[in-house]
Each structure stands twice: as C-alpha cells, then as structure tokens.
Chain A
C-alpha cells in the first residue's frame, strides 16, 4: 500500500514541478520577497521588522495561490484527461490515489515554501541596518506550510465532487473564514441564548482554525521563543487533515467516471 501511495506521490510531484505556471508564481514570489530589501529603506521604524513582516506575508499569499491553484486540479485533471482510468484499473485503491496525490502536492509545496523562506532569511540577514539571522522566519514559514497542506486537503476534497472553479471558490472562502473563526467564537459567547453559544462553538470547531498556524506577528515583533508551538500546530494539522482526507476518500470511493 505504502509503495503505491509513494509512487502516485512521486508522479504527482513530478507533474507539479514541471508546471510552468507554478514556476511563474514562484519566480514572482521570490522577486517580491527580494524587493523587501529595498522596501525597508522606504519605510520608517524597525527596518528589519518590515522585511520579516512583508516577506512572511508574501510567502503566505503566494503559498496560498500555489496550494489552491494546484490543489483544485489535483483530482479533476486526472479525470478530465482520463489518466485516472489507467491508475485505478491497477491494484490501486481509491484512498491510496487521494493520499498519494495529496502527499505529492505537499512535497512540492514544501520545496516552494522552503525556497521562499530561505530567500527571505538571506534578505533579512543581509540587510545592512539591523539585519540578523532570524530563525523565526523558518518557524513562521513552517506554520504557513502547515496551513498550505490543510488547504491542499480541502481543495482536493472539493475537487472530488465539483468543478475546479467551484473548488477554488470554496477553498478560498474557507481560507478567509479560517482566519476569522476566533471572532465567531468570541461573538457567539457574548450571546445570552444558549443555543447560539453552542452553535457558534460547533461551527468554530468544525471550520479550520488557520490562526493556529499564524506566527508571523510573533516573528516580526520578536515574540516567538520556542519551537514547541510547532508540535501543537502539527497535531492539529494531522487531526484535521485526516478528517478531511477521510471525507474525500468516502466521496471518491463511489464516484462514477463517465
């Protein structure tokens, strides 16, 4: 089973890294991150902080674009091009296909995030006014990467039953909502109606809480002290992604290919 999952993952990785649009997005992201070196000179205050702040935001935004762009076509491309006919007629179970595709894309996103984080680290380090080796950039990037993996799982869930355009809309909606769920919890808790409080809590736990992966401010303001927060976030990612992937597999298990 693992061999088949890794074979599909390796093939997906090979497919995505040969995607020219991915390279265009990555090149633009690296350009924007590189430009923060000059942007800091134009701003007032803590110049190195500006670099970390804008750079991490760039990694986040471009990472989300890559995850959504590649994730929404993860399954639908295989169906449209009918390549899935060959794969599923082999001794491959449908959940192995979903796991392999998601794993392959996650590896691609790991490399692109690592490339962006490394460039940001070097820019930050080489900045002449207050630049320093800020390991926090990699910790915050790890958080961004975990968020991208979760978005990939959500995008692949949507791509099992709907069109790429709708998948993109659903995934981006969850991305936005996922960064605002704590407000839903707080607002719900202020209600005097018990049912509203319970409903808001239910929705809070049901929707992905992407703020669990957000340490950009802590890095920019120097408040990130420990790697231990990675462990908790990784646990949340594994639990939530497992649920999403199980749902994808259930929906995909009985899908007819016309």
Chain B
C-alpha cells in the first residue's frame, strides 16, 4: 500500500518564552520533530509544562517558533486562510463570548469560516445535538457549566467539517459520561476519514483511542510510535486468580512464596514473573486442591512506558 505524505509535519521545532527583561528565556520546546498522517488518531502526551500546548499554539499560529518548520497539508502553516479552513481547533479550557448564546457563537464561527447561513444553521443543529447541547442553543454562554463549554468548544472545532482536528485536552473538565461521549465523537471522526491530533495527560483515554502517540517531556520528544508497538510484547507479570484462598502451608507446598500475591475476598491473586513460573505455580496449586480461575499476562500500559521514559519522579502531571 502506498502511504500518502503526512498532513502535518513538524521539523526541529524549538521555542523559548522570555521571562523578564534581565532573565534568561525559558525553553519550552527543543528540536521537536514528528508527523501525523491522514486518518490517524494521534495522541500528544506529556505532563503539565511538557510543551504540548505550545506546540498546538504554533500549529494554530497563536505562537511562532524560534526555529524549525511546521508544514500543514504540504504548505507552510503561515499559508493562511485556505489551510485554516481545513483545520478545526479546540483550545484547552475554551473561553467564549459570554454575552452570546451557543447558537450565536456558532453562527459567528460559521461566518469566519466562510460558511453560508443555511450550512451554518444545519451544521450547528447537528453538532449541538451530537455534543448534547441542543437544549442550550439559545442559552447565554455565561450560564454554561465547564463541561458545557468544553462541548461547545468541540462543536465549534467541527463546525466547518475540517479534515484535521486539533484538540487540546478535550477531556479536561468532563464527567465520565462526557468523556465517553467525546471518545465516541473522536472515533466517529476517524470513521468519517478525518485526522485527529489531541493532547492529553489522561493516559487511559489516549491508550483507548489513539493509533499512535507522541510523548513529550520538558519540551523534548521522549517516545513516538504506534500504541501496540510501544506497549509491545513485553509482559510485566502473569496474574493468576485462584479459588479458594489457600493457607500459607499449602501455598508453600505448592512452591509459592508468601509474598507472591494477596487475598481479594474469596479469591487469591498471584503474580508470577514469567510463563515458566506461572506453569509451575499452576501445577502446584492444582496439586494442593486450588482452582485456577484465570491466568492473564499483564503487559505494560502507556502509563508504565511514560513513567519509564520521563524518569518517574520528576513528572508532575501524568496520571490515571
């Protein structure tokens, strides 16, 4: 299969921000390079202060790099209106004109994107319904909750049916139901042939959604790859669930050390280091009258990979 060129290409991007007249500028991005291909969902991961939002601002012309190049759809990012029409963007914790209603705000966005009034109205209705805000169309934005603002932010990003959707922390401020809905919308976008590039520090969301991830720490890329490649074949341990909870002497007789697991109600959960040890323990457990209910190899998750790459203790925001 011939793969198309990237629709987003970042080459050796660096950015510093001045911190005062006399003080040294703080470098927030160093030599970042990565690519996003059509119809991918790419997660941009990193703790707070890693440089995710700065990168996204550069992609949206809200900041300018000190060095490096961003190419969108084969043209430079500054190419302007034509390129911008193909991109939808939702900033982190989006803010809107509070004196407008949700419907009026989307109408303004439609006008800025060059959409006809009829198109704007029909897309607004469709999207407000999709994000669960159809009842709040005529409500002033100042009365919206944080979650509603987040949903409206998503609606305005998708209003002009962009090919590339850039979302900065789209799950932030949402309740579990809202997060699930946003995950559904992102999956629908991929199914419709769109490309999604989103930043997050909620690793479980990224792991569940993304084709590829790019990990950032202190402005530098620390890992990039397909989720299954990063997670890889490496098994952390093999988890055995046994019933009933055997006493210590029978576990010892089965060749299982006392600190190999823990009791969880009427079940005993054991962690074997590898397949060989798991096989030996299973044989011993069966011999001692136990029943092995399950035997599951537990692989590394993105969280473990992330903590490994950023050194664990000095990351501040990587959670869940």
Contact = CB atoms under 8 A, between A and B. Distances in A.
Interface of A: 3-4, 7-8, 11, 14-15, 18, 81-93, 254, 256-258
Contact of B97 (A83, A88, A89, A256): A83
B262 interface: no
Contacts of A3: 111, 114
A215 to B, nearest CB: 36
B257 interface: no
Bin chain B's interface residue count: 20 to 34
Contacts of A88: 60-62
A15 B84 contact: no
A138 to B, nearest CB: 31
Interface of B: 17, 57, 60-64, 80-82, 84-85, 87, 89, 91, 93-97, 99-100, 108-109, 111-114, 153, 156
Residue of A11, A82, A85 ringed by the most chain B CB atoms within 10 A: A85
Closest 5 CB pairs of A and B: A91-B81, A91-B84, A89-B89, A7-B111, A90-B112
Nearest to B153: A86
Contact of A90 (B57, B64, B99, B113): B113
Contact of A11 (B57, B63, B64, B108): B108
A81 B63 CA distance: 17
16 contacts: A4-B111, A7-B112, A11-B100, A18-B99, A82-B91, A83-B97, A85-B94, A86-B91, A86-B95, A89-B61, A89-B87, A89-B91, A90-B109, A90-B112, A91-B82, A257-B57
A91 B60 CA distance: 10
A45 B25 CA distance: 66
Nearest to A257: B62
Contacts of A90: 84, 109, 112-113
B96 A93 contact: no
A17 to B, nearest CB: 10
B17 A258 contact: yes
B64 A256 contact: yes
Given A3-B114, A86-B109, A11 B61 contact: no
Contacts of B93: 82
A91 B97 contact: no
A3 B114 CA distance: 8
Nearest to A85: B91
A93 B80 contact: yes
B63 A257 contact: yes
Nearest to A87: B112
A214 to B, nearest CB: 35
A85 B62 CA distance: 7
Given A91-B114, A92-B112, A93-B81, A256 B63 contact: yes
A55 B215 CA distance: 66
Given A4-B111, A90-B112, A91-B112, A11 B97 contact: yes
Contacts of A18: 99
A254 B82 CA distance: 20
A7 B91 CA distance: 21
A88 B61 CA distance: 7
Contacts of A7: 108, 111-112
Nearest to A4: B112
Nearest to B111: A7
Contacts of B99: 14-15, 18
Contacts of A15: 97, 99
A87 B153 CA distance: 12
Contacts of B97: 11, 15, 83
Contact of B60 (A81, A89, A254, A258): A89
A99 B153 CA distance: 25
Contacts of A254: 64
Contacts of B57: 85, 256-257
Contacts of A84: 62
B63 to A, nearest CB: 4
Contacts of B64: 254, 256
B84 A89 contact: yes
B157 to A, nearest CB: 8
Contacts of B114: 3-4, 91
A14 B98 CA distance: 11
B302 to A, nearest CB: 28
A256 B109 contact: no
A3 B117 CA distance: 12
Contacts of B61: 88-89
A256 B112 contact: no
Contacts of B156: 86
A102 B255 CA distance: 81
A8 B109 CA distance: 10
Given A89-B89, A256-B62, A258-B17, 20 more contacts: A3-B114, A4-B112, A4-B114, A7-B108, A7-B112, A11-B100, A14-B99, A82-B95, A85-B89, A86-B89, A86-B91, A89-B60, A89-B62, A89-B87, A90-B84, A92-B84, A256-B17, A256-B64, A257-B57, A258-B63
A89 B86 CA distance: 11
Residue of A11, A86, A258 ringed by the most chain B CB atoms within 10 A: A86
